[in-house]
Amino acid sequence: MFARAATATTHCHCHTGAMEARHGARAPEASTSIMLNGRPVLQTPAVLLQAWWRGVRDRRRVRRLRAAVRTQAHVRGWQARRRVAAVRAAVAMQSVWRGVRGRRVAARARAAVMIQKSWRGYAVRIKMGWQT
């Protein structure tokens, strides 16, 4: 009976060595180094395999989550750049319109000055008697 248990343990060690070679992680012997609710927990090969698998699964989930966050960041950046481009286009149109309006106001001012200049010249010529 003891020989059979030793064989099973040896078989388990061989399998552990193969796992170590494939995954780079060595499964330790069964021990009671972990405490759960104040009680020691036996680390059997099944428990160790479950812990290893949970770690693999959780790392995959974290990798997918990081990829999702990265994708969201890229999409939000793209949306922000689009909004900035739209605002810049609006600012450019406002600038063009203000330039057009400013030139119109300046043209009216020049026309008003021309009319005032002509009228004052005419009024002076009439006053001086140079023009009838």
d(CA 65, CA 46): 28
Q: What tens digit of pLDDT does each residue of 37-80 get?
A: 877 777 788 888 999 999 999 999 999 999 999 999 999 999 99
Structure tokens at 61: 């989930």
Q: What tens digit of pLDDT does each residue of 81-129 get?
A: 999 999 999 999 999 999 999 999 999 999 999 999 999 999 999 999 8
The pLDDT score that the predictor gives to residue 52 is 93
CA dist 1 to 4, 7, 29, Å?
Answer: 5, 10, 21
Contact 122, 131 (CB under 8 A): yes
Note the pTM of the prediction, 2 decimals.
0.45
d(CA 90, CA 96): 10
Residue carrying structure tokens 């002509």: 118
The pLDDT score that the predictor gives to residue 5 is 43
Contact 25, 19 (CB under 8 A): yes
Contact 27, 45 (CB under 8 A): yes
